[in-house]
Structure 1
Amino acid sequence: MSYDFKTLSDADFEDLARDLIGRLLGLRFEAFCTGPDGGMDGRHSSAEGAVILQAKHYAGSSAAQLQAVMKKERTSIDTLDPARYLLATSRQLTHKTKAELAALIGPSLKSEADIFGPDDLNKLLRDYPDLEKAHIKLWLSSAAVLDRVVNAAAHTFAAIARDEIEAKVRVYAQNPSFSESAAKLEDQHVLIVSGPAGVGKTTLAEMLSYAYLAEGWELVPIRSLDDGFASLNDAKKQVFLFDDFLGRVALDKHALSMKDSDLARFIKRVRSSANARFILTTRAYILEEARRVSEYLADQRLDVSKYILDVGIYTRRIRARILYNHLLVAETPVEHIRALIESGKLADIVDHKNYNPRVIEWMTDRFHIGALSAADYPAAFLEGLRNPKGLWDTAFRTHIDDRCRHLLFALFFCSEYGDDIDNARVSYDALHHALCNRYGLPRDPKDFEEAVRILEGGFIAVSGDRLSFINPSFRDYLTEYLDDQVLLRGFAGTSRRSDWAEAVWRQGQRGATLGSLNPELAASFVSVAEAFQNWPTWKRYKADPRSMVIADGSNASRLKLILDWWNHCKEPRLIAAALALASSPPDGWNSWRDSEPAIELIRQLRDGDYFDEFPAAEELAQLIEAGLLRMLKSGVSSDDIEKLSDAIEENQTHLGPDICTAMNQLIADEFAEIYQRISDMDSESTLDEYLNTLTRLAPRAGLSKAQIARATDAVSERKIEVADKAESAEAPAFAQKRDDKNPFDDSDLINLFTPLLRRVSC
């Protein structure tokens, strides 16, 4: 692969030149930032004298511009008087240009061969492929790799444009966390990236994912473990990315109790496969709370702690590079950069106790800078670090109108990953209409389109047919802003989806003490609960109408929500709504989404400790059980058999005998149709796990040793068929540590940012 180096910053190019030429000569260069009179970007000292390396990143500039700057450098070169001078440049060079540069440099240049142009550097990259992989920003920003990332993203919920991906790669400041996390991931196959909010967990996870993608792996971003199980294919090299897997704002203990066993099972599956990697991100405090609540995450046999990586610790040089990259990529006005340098506040920003990449991103964003003069920029930057919430507060309260605020409210209660524009519009129209009527605000049919247009780029991102918040910190801001019971009661009745209603309810419960009641808010959802029976849980996929995708919360989650509301307000209409929903659930009961929570709900209804005051507890339990029985008799996916059987086994004292009989028949059917079931399984680890599952379930269904032996033989035969097809993944070559031990004082800091005055103004 040949590079023109245009995607690299000056600092990135200097790092690359030091590593390549140092490897060629067998020398270790000290790192120095470009300075006004330093004349060196790398130095190797020895008894024979100093070897000085200078890097000039002039890709796209004219030969005359490069010659002019080297003419100015002559005084510094003569002052340094090195034993040997080396020049690396990204500007294309001819023989004539090299000769002219040699004359300008003077006697310190021992040979024209010590001038390295882009062709020379590309040859060194081919000679030292490990260095190419070590400089991830170089190859991740290449056209071929970007195309792979874009094509992979186009088939996932994380679909983003090419320029967005390229910007992320350019902004990323490579640091030891990348190689350390890559090594952990290769060793354990699973990596949980944890740390405080905004330190770069998602960025690190994405860079790791993109690196695997560039190595020929398939990238599979997932929003649930069900997505992961459905996509896992051991015959392919796959890297799974589960961003913020325990929630962005607060841990839902109930949801975790239902899913932590699936997490343990998925981790086990990934660890057993040579061709799978699993990257998860979460905030440190949420992970610790989850480990306290979850028996699975706390299980020492799972030893989940070894996957944890805290990316909140950055050296001064790395902090400076993060700021530098953001200023460069955001094309920050040159006068604002000059103000930062001349104000003397760069060190205060980089060393600030609240330093956070998320704040850096916001304070270099054009939307925010546009409201600040250059003179005010340094002080505003420091204020943003002192009070990060204030960044959003002023903009939210004073820079946008009510129709825009209403859209942000509506989007907040949609999926935390964003939502389809159509879904967002439905939620917005209902909420906007209600708020305008309540507060006497004007309303126009085009308010949604106008709000999207105004907010795009500043508060929200529009990617294809999806809307999402442009920065997770704004969701954090709204979480506190919407801690308002009166406001939420007005929102409740405008719900048009059960998951949106649940998000409003959870927000209302935020911070409530255990067992506290919220009757007024709960009563606000009565009309919504009555509408659940008419809202579909599935819908046609736009890109392929033959496929179905999730449209809303499951029927089981809706019933739990209704019962939760009833517990708080004892409204009789909620009893009728629950019975009606259980009698005729939209789209029927689904084994994947409903089985476990529905069985748990039956147990709770019959236990007496949960809904002892609910007057129709047994009637509701019977309706749910009848629906589950119909589901079992109509057939269940093999993937759902184990967890469904486990749920029934655990709660069988609260279930009727027909449920257990139907479940045992499903297990028997798995054995009877074993050859058909395993025909699509494509790896030995998947087959082994399936056989282990069947062997474990067989006694429950009273199956004989002969039936188990037949299944074992079938699996053995299938393993022979797929053995030659399975391709073991080679360890990626990008886990090389970078040296960051050189000192980085205030003069280095200034020298790093000074070239931005030239590059931004060009």
Structure 2
Amino acid sequence: MTFSFDALSPADFEDLSRDLLGCELGVRFEAFGPGRDGGVDGRHAAAGDMTILQAKHYRLSDFDALARTMQKERASIDALTPNRYLLTTSRPLTPPNKDRLATIIGPSLQGTWDIFGNDDINGLLRKYPDLQKSHVKLWLSGAGVLERVLHAATHNFTSLTRDDIKAKLTVYAENPSFKTGRDILESIHVLIVSGPPGVGKTTLAEMLSYAYLAEDWELVAIRSLNDAFTHIDDTKRQVFFFDDFLGRIALDARALSNQDSDLARFIGRVRRTSNARFILTTRAYIYEEARLQSEALSTGAFDVASYVLDVGIYTRRIRARILYNHLIVARVPEAHIQALVEQNAIKKIVDHDHYNPRIVETLTNADRIEEIAPTDYPAAFIAALDDPLSIWDKAFRTHIPSRCRHLLFAMYISAEHGAEIEDLEEVYNPLHQALCRRFSLSSGPKDFEESVRTLEGSFVTISNGQVSLINPSVRDYLAQYLTDSALLRAMAEGMATLRAARALYEHFKKVPGVSGEDKAAFLISYITLAANAVNEEPWKPIRGEPNRRRWIGMSYSGQVELLRDWWKTSKRQEFLDAALVVASNRDNWFSSWADGRIMPRLIASLRAAPKAERENTTALVEALEERLIQILDSALDLDDVHRIRTEVLPRKGHLAQRIGWSADSAAHRVIAELPNSLEHVDSESTLDDFRKLVDELGPTVGATPAEMVRAKDAISSRADRLRAETPGEDALSVRGHSTIETDWFTDEDLRNLFAPLLWSGK
């Protein structure tokens, strides 16, 4: 593999040069800065009796620029009087180039063999291949590796291009978290990356994902655990990635109650599957709240703490490298960098109590810098660290028209991870019209299209038909901005879907000072929407694929539960009537995986309610019970029936007796039919779970010993076939650094790191 070193910053290239020449010469080089005497570019290292190594990463300059720089530094090299002088450069060098450099450098150079150009460095990398794997950015930027990563990533992170991935690699500051995360994944196969907002959780998870992709693993980016159960396949090497699995701003308690046991179950399967890895990210405060609320996440048997890597703390060296890399990749004008240096802002930024890589990324963005004069840049940077959400405030309030603000409101209530353009337009148009009517604003038929075009690149990104907020902090800002009750009530009048209405109402409930009466009054705006709930399907056709449909987020039982809750809060009969229509409509197909777990809990809660409530919900309970029995009578996996039965058993006292009978009958039927229904199962750990379930359920649901033996024999036979198709387990070869030298990083080190950015020709 040949490297161009484009993804490395000058400081990264210096690190690589020290490691390579250290291996070649059998010495350890220590890092040095230019020093106060100036004139020496880049980093130096000393070992033994004064051997000096100098690294020149001239990836964007020609040979003449390198030669001119070396001429300027000749006096400084002579003043150091080294016993041996070594020069590395990322530029290709011809023999005449080396001869010319040797003449310029002078007597400190023993010979042209101590000048290492691009080809020489690639030769050393081939000689010491393990070094490639410890320099993660270098390894991932290799031509063949990058193409494999790009090909696989475009099917999962749909907004990424080759340039996007290279940019991510270039700004990434290598740190011990990569190796720690890699070691956890290789040891127990599961990693939960936790930390405060904006500290690089997703970046670390992506870098780990890229490393697996580079070694031909299949990446499966998921939005639900059902996606994970559907795709796990022992015949493939797979890495599953679940970003912000507990929510982006606040814990989704409803989702947690529906998925925490599934999470424990899927983690168990991954741990027992040699060719599966599972990477999850979450904000630290959301994770801690989830642990308090979830029995599955807090139980000692689950031992969730062993999977967690907290990335909330960076050493001073890593903070400095992150800022340094962003200034280089974003090509921040030298005048702005000069202002940071002259006003001593570099030190203030790196040492700031609220230092955050996301703010660094935003404040080095080209569009942002265009708006800030060089002399004002340091103050703007520090102000953003003092108040992170202020980054978006001026642009949101003064730089975009109201129609664009309405689009961002629609984004906020549409989806945490982005929305299909057609889904966003479905939410935007009625919301925009409602706000224009309420506040006497003009509107036009092209407002949606023009708003998307205006916001692209500044507030949103668009790729493959999906619109996403350009940065998660935009969502944080909107959450803070949307606290005006009058504005939220006006938005409620423009809700077009139950999904959006639920998101808006959940946000409204968290506004300080909102009372029970306020909530009831707010919900009145939803009465017309509720009457049309029966027409809101959980699935939509996929564009260009008429025979396939995509899940859009709320099951029929979820709709019923939502409408029931709104009825209880508002006391408006219209919501309960709408819930009954959804539950009774024969055109609505309730499914085992989307509805099966919710329905026993929902039915039991209705039956256990106070008498006054029960008198109003009898018809709804009966309709839901009929639907649950229909599910149990349909074709089910052993997993499906077990999940439903697990919800039924503890609630038998509040469920009709026929529900328990139907659950047992379904389990018996599935066990008896298991020998003919295993070909779709591609995970040995899933089969192992099935074997345990046959032993656990069989005797209690009436399965005969012969039926149980046949089922387990079929499971063993399928497992044998899978093992024959399963590739051997290979550990991830890329390792990363376990340490980044010493954590002692002085003010002089800080000045030395950033000084070369001000020197022309670098």
Alpha-carbon distance in 1 for matches of 2:442, 2:41: 63
Aligned to 2:423: 423
Within a 5 Å distance, the mapping from 1:266-665 to structure 2 comes to: 266-510=266-510, 516=516, 518-584=519-585, 587-608=588-609, 612-613=612-613, 615-665=615-665
Alpha-carbon distance in 2 for matches of 1:645, 1:9: 57
2:254 partner amino acid: H
Q: Deviations over 1:610-654 (max 9, x none)?
A: x85354222211111112222332323444222122122232333
Alpha-carbon distance in 1 for matches of 2:199, 2:225: 25
Are 1:750 and 2:756 counterparts?
no
Aligned to 2:21: 21
Q: TM-score, normalised by structure 2?
A: 0.96
> Where in structure 1 are there 5+ consecutive unaligned residues?
none
Aligned to 1:55: 55
How far residue 306 of structure 1 moved from its aligned partner, in angstroms, is 1.6
Moved more, 144-153 or 92-101: 144-153
How far residue 77 of structure 1 moved from its aligned partner, in angstroms, is 0.8
Within a 5 Å distance, the mapping from 1:124-203 to structure 2 comes to: 124-156=124-156, 158-203=158-203
Q: Deviations over 1:200-235 (max 9, x none)?
A: 111111111111111111111111111111111122
Q: 1:362 aligns to what SS in structure 2?
A: helix
8 Å contact 1:522–1:566 — kept in the other structure?
no
2:605 partner amino acid: Q
1:212 partner amino acid: Y
Moved more, 163-172 or 11-20: 163-172
How far residue 660 of structure 1 moved from its aligned partner, in angstroms, is 3.3
> Where in structure 2 are there 5+ consecutive unaligned residues?
none
How far residue 331 of structure 1 moved from its aligned partner, in angstroms, is 2.1
How far residue 699 of structure 1 moved from its aligned partner, in angstroms, is 2.6
8 Å contact 1:566–1:575 — kept in the other structure?
yes
Q: 1:651 aligns to what SS in structure 2?
A: helix
Cα gap change, 1:423 to 1:33, in 2 (>3 Å)? farther
Q: 1:247 aligns to what SS in structure 2?
A: coil
2:496 partner amino acid: R
Within a 5 Å distance, the mapping from 1:190-269 to structure 2 comes to: 190-269=190-269
Are 1:733 and 2:730 counterparts?
no
Aligned to 2:45: 43
8 Å contact 2:632–2:641 — kept in the other structure?
no
Alpha-carbon distance in 2 for matches of 1:464, 1:683: 31
8 Å contact 1:27–1:44 — kept in the other structure?
no
8 Å contact 1:497–1:552 — kept in the other structure?
no
8 Å contact 2:674–2:714 — kept in the other structure?
yes
Q: 1:42 aligns to what SS in structure 2?
A: coil
Moved more, 692-701 or 349-358: 692-701
How far residue 33 of structure 1 moved from its aligned partner, in angstroms, is 4.3
8 Å contact 2:678–2:718 — kept in the other structure?
yes
How far residue 570 of structure 1 moved from its aligned partner, in angstroms, is 0.2
Cα gap change, 1:501 to 1:153, in 2 (>3 Å)? farther
Alpha-carbon distance in 1 for matches of 2:680, 2:551: 25
Aligned length: 758
- Give aligned-pair identity as a percent: 47
Alpha-carbon distance in 1 for matches of 2:41, 2:79: 9
Aligned to 1:123: 123
Alpha-carbon distance in 1 for matches of 2:326, 2:408: 26
Q: 1:193 aligns to what SS in structure 2?
A: strand
Cα gap change, 1:508 to 1:103, in 2 (>3 Å)? same
Alpha-carbon distance in 1 for matches of 2:718, 2:581: 47
Q: 1:52 aligns to what SS in structure 2?
A: strand
Alpha-carbon distance in 1 for matches of 2:513, 2:601: 24
Alpha-carbon distance in 2 for matches of 1:743, 1:74: 31
How far residue 606 of structure 1 moved from its aligned partner, in angstroms, is 0.3
1:41 partner amino acid: R
How far residue 267 of structure 1 moved from its aligned partner, in angstroms, is 0.9
8 Å contact 1:687–1:719 — kept in the other structure?
yes
Alpha-carbon distance in 1 for matches of 2:514, 2:282: 24
Alpha-carbon distance in 1 for matches of 2:683, 2:295: 30
Alpha-carbon distance in 2 for matches of 1:652, 1:412: 40
8 Å contact 2:18–2:45 — kept in the other structure?
no
Root-mean-square deviation (CA, aligned residues, Å) is 2.0
1:540 partner amino acid: P
8 Å contact 1:43–1:53 — kept in the other structure?
yes
How far residue 525 of structure 1 moved from its aligned partner, in angstroms, is 1.5
Alpha-carbon distance in 1 for matches of 2:224, 2:568: 29
Alpha-carbon distance in 2 for matches of 1:57, 1:539: 51
How far residue 750 of structure 1 moved from its aligned partner, in angstroms, is 2.6
Q: 1:545 aligns to what SS in structure 2?
A: strand
How far residue 155 of structure 1 moved from its aligned partner, in angstroms, is 2.8
1:599 partner amino acid: P
How far residue 585 of structure 1 moved from its aligned partner, in angstroms, is 6.5
8 Å contact 2:39–2:72 — kept in the other structure?
no
How far residue 683 of structure 1 moved from its aligned partner, in angstroms, is 4.2
Alpha-carbon distance in 2 for matches of 1:149, 1:159: 14
Cα gap change, 1:140 to 1:758, in 2 (>3 Å)? farther
Alpha-carbon distance in 2 for matches of 1:488, 1:534: 25
Cα gap change, 1:513 to 1:271, in 2 (>3 Å)? farther
1:564 partner amino acid: D
1:542 partner amino acid: R
Alpha-carbon distance in 2 for matches of 1:322, 1:398: 31
8 Å contact 2:389–2:477 — kept in the other structure?
yes
Alpha-carbon distance in 2 for matches of 1:490, 1:225: 35
2:43 partner amino acid: D
Alpha-carbon distance in 1 for matches of 2:33, 2:665: 72
8 Å contact 2:199–2:311 — kept in the other structure?
yes
8 Å contact 1:555–1:585 — kept in the other structure?
no
Aligned to 1:682: 682
Alpha-carbon distance in 1 for matches of 2:615, 2:381: 59
Alpha-carbon distance in 1 for matches of 2:503, 2:658: 36
Q: 2:532 aligns to what SS in structure 1?
A: helix
Alpha-carbon distance in 2 for matches of 1:515, 1:278: 42
How far residue 7 of structure 1 moved from its aligned partner, in angstroms, is 2.3
8 Å contact 1:141–1:170 — kept in the other structure?
no
Cα gap change, 1:199 to 1:31, in 2 (>3 Å)? same
Alpha-carbon distance in 2 for matches of 1:757, 1:600: 65
Alpha-carbon distance in 1 for matches of 2:755, 2:453: 36
How far residue 427 of structure 1 moved from its aligned partner, in angstroms, is 0.9
How far residue 127 of structure 1 moved from its aligned partner, in angstroms, is 1.8
8 Å contact 2:404–2:452 — kept in the other structure?
yes
8 Å contact 2:195–2:282 — kept in the other structure?
yes
Cα gap change, 1:515 to 1:264, in 2 (>3 Å)? farther
Aligned to 1:71: 71
Moved over 4 A (4+): 511-517
8 Å contact 2:637–2:670 — kept in the other structure?
no
Alpha-carbon distance in 1 for matches of 2:133, 2:33: 23
1:44 partner amino acid: A
2:45 partner amino acid: R
Q: Deviations over 1:647-675 (max 9, x none)?
A: 22232333334433433343233233323
Alpha-carbon distance in 2 for matches of 1:510, 1:41: 52
How far residue 416 of structure 1 moved from its aligned partner, in angstroms, is 0.3
1:433 partner amino acid: Q
8 Å contact 2:3–2:141 — kept in the other structure?
no
Q: Deviations over 1:153-173 (max 9, x none)?
A: 333365433322222121111
